Amino acid sequence: MNIKNIAIIAHVDHGKTTLVDAMLRQSGVFGDREELVERAMDSNDIEKERGITILSKNASLDFGGYKINIVDTPGHADFGGEVQRILKMVDSVLLLVDAFEGVMPQTKYVLKQALEHGLNPIVVVNKIDRPNSTPEEVVDLVFDLFVELGANDHQLEFPVIFASAKNGFAKYELADEDLNMQPLFETIVKHVKDPEGDPEAPVQMLVTNISPDNYLGKLATGRIHNGVLNKNQEVTLIKRDGELVNFKITRIFGAEGMNRIELDTAVCGDIVTVAGTEKFDIGETIADRANPMALPLIDIDEPTLAMTFMVSTSPFVGREGKFVTSRNIWDRLAKEVEHNVSMKIERTESADAFIVKGRGELQLSILIENMRREGFELQVAKPQVIMRDIDGVKSEPIELAIIDVADEFTGVVIEKLGIRKGEMINMVQGTDGYTRLEFKVPARGLIGFRNEFMTETRGTGILNHSFFDYEPYKGEVPTRQRGVLISIEKGTTTAYSLGNVQSRGTLFANPGLEVYEGMIIGEHSRENDLTVNVTRGKQLTNMRASGTDAVTKLAPGREFTLEQALEYIADDELVEITPQSIRMRKKFLTEGDRKRAARGTVR
C-alpha cells in the first residue's frame, strides 16, 4: 500500500480547514449526491460557532494510487499540545501561510516543532486572491524564518505552492492558470517521503490520541511504526511507567474520506484507531506480545497558566445546572486530562477547589465552555502564570505578540505595553495605513490587555501572541486601574435604581436582572470598589407631580463573554459559570467579610 501521511499546520485563521475541504471535494470523497459540507473537519459545536479548530482530526483521500492521510491541526497557540503529538504521526507537513498577513506568531511555533521533528515542510501560500496580498514577499519571509529556526539544507529547499483554498485552486507559479488542486496533490506525492517501518518486524504502534465510545469503550488512535496489526491479535500495551498490560485487539478502524471504516488488518505506516482495553493513555506503545518494545514517549511543553476551579458558593447555585458537587467537577477534569496531554490538574488543601494548568486562557475557557454546556455549575479564579526556577533565577513565561494597528494608534499601544513590561523588538510601517509591532511581553502583562487594547484602538487593532520562552522575572505589572460596583442587596434590578447608579461608572446589568449581595454589576469610575443598591424601586403615591415624570434613560449594560470575564476580574474576584449565565462576583460576598479579609482576619 502506498501511503503518504501529512499534517496541515498554520497560524489561526490562515485557512487550514478550508484547504482540507477543497482537497476532499476534488478527490471525490463527497459523492455526487452528497452535500458538500463547509469546514467539514470542524465537527465540534464550539469549533463551528467560533470558526477555529480545537481538536486535531484526520481524514484520507486517494490520488494516483496513493492513500493520503491528512491531519488537520489547531492553529491557536493554546492548543500547541495537539500539534506536538500529531507531528509524531506524520512524515511531512503543509505549512500554510496567509499571502496577506504573512508570518505570524503561531507560524513560528508550529514550524519550529516540525523542523525539530526532522520533517521537511511543503509551503503553501494561501489566499493569493486577497486584495493587496504579497505572495512572493511572503515566500521570502518564510525562507528567512526557516533560517532563523536553524533549518538544515534539505529543509531549506522546500517546495512552494500558491493557492486559494476558498476558490479551490493551487498552482506552481503565480502566472499559471487557476484550475484545481492537482498541483498540490502532485507535490504531496512527490515530496512527502514514504513511511519508514518494517512490515516483518514485531508490531509497534504509538498512541497519539484517545477518544471515548459509548459501545466500544476507550479508543486509541495512532500510527503503526512497524509490523502488521490484525483484528483479535493478542498484544501488549507498554505504559509510561513500564507496566505491561496484555489485551486483545477487538476492533480496528481506518479512515476513508471523512468516514471511519472497520478493517481486519492494518499495515505499518497507516494511521488507525483500535479498541481493546480501557487502559490506553497518550504516548504509550501497543507492542508485540512475545517481543514488547517501547517507542519514544511524546514530550509536550509544560503548562504556562494555572486557574483554580471551585464548587460554586453562589446564592443561586443549583438553579440552572445538574452537576454542582466537588466530585462531579473532579471527575470531569480527570476525564479531560486523559486526552488533553498539555493540561494538568492538582488537588488543593480545600476539598472544594482544584488547580487546572494549561497553555493559555483560550484553552482553559474552552474547557469551561464545554463543562457549562454539559450542565456544570462552578466558579473560577483569575488565571495566574506559572513561575519557574531556572538556575536559581525566578523566571516567568514570555509571549511573542504581533500587533497590526492603524498608524494613529501606534503610540498608545506602545505606551500601554511598555507599562506592562513589554519590549518592542520590531516595527514595520505598511503602505495601507497600518503598522506591525512585535513585542516580547510577560504572559502576566497580556492577561486583561485585550479588552483595553480593543478600546484604545476603537476595535480596529489585531493582536496575536504565542509562547516565546521563559525569562527572568520582570517585576510588578499593573493590573486593572478601576474598581467595581458591587450589589449590596439580593433582588431584581430596576431601571430607577440603575439610573441613579450609572453616573458612578459603567453598568454591566440591565433592568430585570436577578442579582445577589457581592455580585459585580458595573465598573466604578474611580480606583476603589463601591457597594450600591440596584434593586430599589421608585416610591409611588396617589398624587401626581405637577410636571411630567422624568423618563429614566439608561445606556445598555456592557456584556462579557467568558474570556472577557476571565481577563477582567481582579485577584479578589471570581467568575461564576452556569449553563445559562456568566456572573462576576467578589470572593467574599458581604462587605464585612471583605473588610476582615483586607485586615487578614478571614481566610
Query: Does residue 133 sit in the same domain as residue 250?
Result: no
Q: Identify whether residues 229 and 273 lie together within a single domain.
A: yes
Return d(Cα 164, Cα 170) in angstroms, integer: 6
Strand pairing report for 393-406 and 514-515:
unpaired
Compute the average pLDDT of residues 525-536: 89
Query: Which of 54, 63, 68 is closest to 7 using CA atoms?
Result: 68
pLDDT tier at 591, thresholds 50, 70, 90:
confident
Residue 76 is part of which domain span?
Answer: 2-191
pLDDT at 516: 92
Q: Are residues 519 and 589 in the same domain?
A: yes
The pLDDT tens digits of the residues spanning 244-265 come to 889 899 989 888 777 788 889 9
> Nine-digit cell at 482?
478601576
Residue 40 pLDDT greater than 50, yes or no: no
pLDDT band at 100 (very low <50, low <70, confident <90, very high): confident
Binding residues: 13-18, 126-129
Indicate the pTM of the whole model: 0.75
What is the side-by-side order of every strand in the sheet holding 234-238? 244-248, 234-238, 285-288, 204-213, 217-226, 271-275, 251-256, 259-263
Tell me the C-alpha distance between 474 and 446, whole Å. 13
* Mean pLDDT value across residues 519-533: 90
Round the average pLDDT of the chain to a whole number and report it: 83
216 and 72 share one domain: no
The pLDDT of 67-92, averaged and rounded, is: 73
The pLDDT confidence band at residue 579, using thresholds 50, 70 and 90, is very high
Cβ-count burial 50-84 (b if 16+ within 10 Å, e if not): eebbbbbbbbbbebeebbbbbbbbbbbbbbbbbbb
* Among candidate residues 405, 400, 521, the one with its CA nearest the CA of residue 467: 400
Residue 329 has what pLDDT?
92
pLDDT at 219 > cutoff 90: no
In a domain, 108, yes or no: yes
pLDDT of residue 82: 65
In a domain, 211, yes or no: yes
Q: Do 9 and 74 share a structural domain?
A: yes
pLDDT per residue as tens digits for the range 323-366: 999 999 999 998 888 777 778 899 989 889 999 998 778 788 88
- Terminal CA-to-CA distance of the chain, rounded, Å? 65
Same domain, 454 and 508: no
Is residue 514 predicted with pLDDT exceeding 60? Answer: yes
Closest CA to 114 of 144, 73, 65: 73
Secondary structure, 3-state, 309-374: EECCCCCCCCCCCCECCHHHHHHHHHHHHHHCCCCEEEECCCCCEEEEEECCHHHHHHHHHHHHHC
Q: Would you state the cell numbers that stand for residue 312, as one nine-digit string? A: 460554586
Residue 512: give its domain's CATH number: 2.40.50.250
Asked whether residue 325 is domain-assigned, the answer is no
Residue 560 is classified by DSSP as -
User: What's the DSSP call for residue 127?
Assistant: -
- Within the chain, what is the greatest distance between any pair of CA atoms? 99
pLDDT of residue 29 exceeding 50, the answer is yes
Q: Are residues 18 and 87 in the same domain?
A: yes
Distance CA 384, CA 420 (A): 15
Within a domain: 329: no
State the DSSP H helix or E strand holding residue 220, giving kind and residue range, or none if neither: strand 217-226
| Confidence tier at 113 by pLDDT (50, 70, 90) | confident
- At 520, is the pLDDT very low, low, confident or very high (cuts 50, 70, 90)? very high
Annotation: binding site for GTP:
13-18, 126-129
557 and 432 in one domain? Answer: no
We report the CATH number of the domain holding residue 464 as 3.30.70.240
DSSP one-letter string for 12-64? TTSSHHHHHHHHHHHTT-S-TTS---TTTT--SHHHHHHT---S-EEEEEEET
Of 288, 309, 340, the residue at which a domain comes to its end is 288
Q: Is residue 122 part of a domain?
A: yes
* pLDDT given for residue 177 in this prediction: 85
| Same domain for 488 and 468 | no
Residue 233: strand, helix, or coil:
coil
On the question of pLDDT at 42 being above 70, the answer is: no
Mean pLDDT calculated for residue range 466-494: 86
Categorize the per-residue pLDDT at 1 as very low, low, confident or very high, splitting at 50, 70 and 90: low
Distances (CA, A) of 493 to 2, 263, 489, 499: 67, 61, 10, 10
Residues 79 and 121 in one domain: yes
Among 520, 546, 547, CA closest to 534: 520
Give residue-wise pLDDT tens across range 418-443: 888 888 988 888 767 788 888 999 98
Residue 72: per-residue pLDDT: 76
- Smallest Cα–Cα separation from 436: which of 481, 473, 404, 392? 404
